[in-house]
């Protein structure tokens, strides 16, 4: 009863309030439930977005770093599975300066040496051609000389001198004929000088070829990356070549003509050396021709031998004209009163000049006659030249030998100064 009174005292409002209280408590719960389920979904998306951005940034940074710094190669194992030692990878060694200089020598210097050798050999051929032309020019004087010799005035002059020549033995006829010979052909001096001039032209051409070679090599060095190479000027370079050439001539068993050419080429007094070579060549010819004349028969042969080995000419070169004059006098004795005198005289002189040409160009055979050996040896010694058993190879063989030695000297000198040189400090 008391409960009913209390409930009645609160009235209907309190009951409705009590009934509505649970509703009011449950209503907010029902409205906030969806909100409590959707709220956690936004943080997950945000976290995923952040993670994606971080991953992308990491990838970009890693890619850029890989492009700048390539990954290092793993160090190779010193031993392979088969038990063989594997060499550690090393950097390629730099090419040595000597190898670079050797390549320059093969590429630039060697062709210049070959070209200079060709030019020197062409100069040697021209030297032989000039000697041949010189003898031909002398041959052109044979006919005028014979015409003069067979003229009435010359015949009278010889007859006038014959008694005194026979009585006193003073060689006045030989001197008279010599004057005629020298006027139409050559004298001792003019013959020697003409041969020396030919040799000097050869030397001048070789000198020009060497200068051309050195200039071209120096020009190649200027554009090459070889600062340690300093080639000499022509004077010192030529002296070094000359020194090596002189060593070849004294250290090898070559002919005396070759030795004389070497001395001539390296000597500073080229003109005097050329005269010495000409004198030596003519002495060889005289000695050879004298032996041939002495072995012949008749007055012509005997007079030729006498004129070649003695007479009024001093020195070995004088015997060349002495040989010719002795030959002429002998022919005059044998053929003076015959109609064939003029033809025989021309024949003998042409043969004489042909032997002179052959002796100069092709060489003279070795001589066995002791007097001829003594004559030629003394003649060569008087000119400061060597004699090797009186063997003359002639210019045709000696000049190419000289070219061979020059080429070898060029190669050795350039190799020593370019390839084997020590770097300049």
**Measured in whole angstroms, how far is the alpha carbon of residue 373 from the centre of its chain?**
39
H or E stretch covering 188:
helix 188-223
List the one residue out of 414, 409, 412, 399 whose CA is nearest residue 124: 399
Q: 137: left (phi > 0), else alpha (psi -120 to 50), else beta?
A: alpha
* Length of the chain as a residue count: 425
Q: Are 311 and 322 in contact (CB under 8 A)?
A: yes
3-state secondary structure of 374: helix
DSSP letter assigned to residue 357: H
**DSSP line for 95-122:** PPHHHHHHHHIIIIIHHHHHHHHHHHHH
* pLDDT reported for residue 325: 83
DSSP letter assigned to residue 232: -
* pLDDT reported for residue 66: 58
* pLDDT reported for residue 367: 45
* pLDDT reported for residue 418: 85
In whole angstroms, give the CA distance from residue 332 to residue 303. 10
Q: Are 251 and 243 in contact (CB under 8 A)?
A: no
Positions of the chain with pLDDT lower than 50, given as ranges: 1-2, 4-9, 11-40, 77, 92, 291-318, 367-390, 425
* pLDDT reported for residue 203: 95
In whole angstroms, give the CA distance from residue 419 to residue 341. 70
In whole angstroms, give the CA distance from residue 141 to residue 131. 16
In whole angstroms, give the CA distance from residue 50 to residue 48. 5
Q: 232: left (phi > 0), else alpha (psi -120 to 50), else beta?
A: beta
């Amino acid at each position: 009863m008391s409960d009913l009174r209390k409930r009645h005292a609160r009235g209907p409002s309190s009951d409705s309030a009590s009934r509505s209280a649970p509703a009011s408590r449950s209503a907010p719960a029902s409205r906030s439930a969806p909100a409590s389920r959707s709220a956690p979904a936004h943080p997950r998306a945000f976290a995923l977005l952040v993670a994606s951005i971080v991953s992308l940034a990491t990838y970009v940074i890693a890619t850029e770093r890989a492009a700048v710094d390539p990954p290092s190669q793993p160090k190779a194992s010193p031993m392979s599975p088969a038990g063989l030692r594997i060499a550690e990878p090393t950097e390629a060694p730099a090419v040595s300066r000597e190898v670079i200089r050797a390549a320059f020598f093969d590429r630039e210097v060697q062709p210049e040496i070959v070209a200079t050798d060709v030019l020197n050999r062409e100069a040697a051929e021209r030297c032989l051609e000039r000697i041949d032309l010189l003898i031909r020019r002398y041959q052109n004087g044979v006919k005028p000389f014979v015409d003069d010799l067979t003229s009435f005035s010359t015949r009278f002059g010889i007859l006038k001198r014959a008694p005194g020549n026979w009585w006193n033995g003073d060689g006045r006829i030989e001197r008279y004929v010599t004057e005629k010979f020298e006027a139409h052909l050559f004298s001792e001096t003019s013959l020697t000088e003409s041969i020396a001039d030919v040799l000097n032209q050869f030397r001048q051409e070789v000198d020009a070829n060497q200068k051309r070679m050195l200039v071209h090599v120096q020009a190649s060095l200027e554009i090459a990356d070889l600062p340690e190479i300093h080639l000499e000027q022509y004077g010192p370079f030529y002296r070094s070549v000359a020194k090596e050439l002189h060593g070849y001539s004294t250290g090898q068993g070559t002919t005396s003509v070759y030795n004389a050419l070497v001395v001539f080429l390296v000597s500073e007094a080229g003109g005097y050396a050329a005269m010495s070579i000409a004198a030596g060549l003519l002495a060889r010819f005289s000695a050879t021709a004298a032996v041939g004349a002495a072995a012949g028969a008749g007055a012509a042969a005997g007079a030729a031998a006498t004129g070649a080995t003695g007479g009024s000419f001093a020195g070995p070169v004088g015997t060349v004209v002495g040989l010719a004059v002795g030959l002429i006098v002998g022919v005059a004795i044998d053929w003076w009163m015959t109609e064939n005198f003029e033809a025989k005289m021309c024949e003998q002189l042409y043969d004489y000049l042909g032997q002179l040409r052959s002796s100069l160009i092709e060489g003279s055979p070795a001589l066995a006659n002791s007097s001829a050996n003594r004559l030629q040896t003394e003649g060569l010694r008087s000119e400061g030249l060597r004699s090797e058993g009186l063997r003359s190879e002639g210019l045709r063989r000696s000049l190419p030998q000289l070219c061979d030695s020059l080429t070898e000297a060029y190669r050795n000198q350039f190799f020593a100064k370019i390839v084997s040189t020590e770097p300049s400090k």
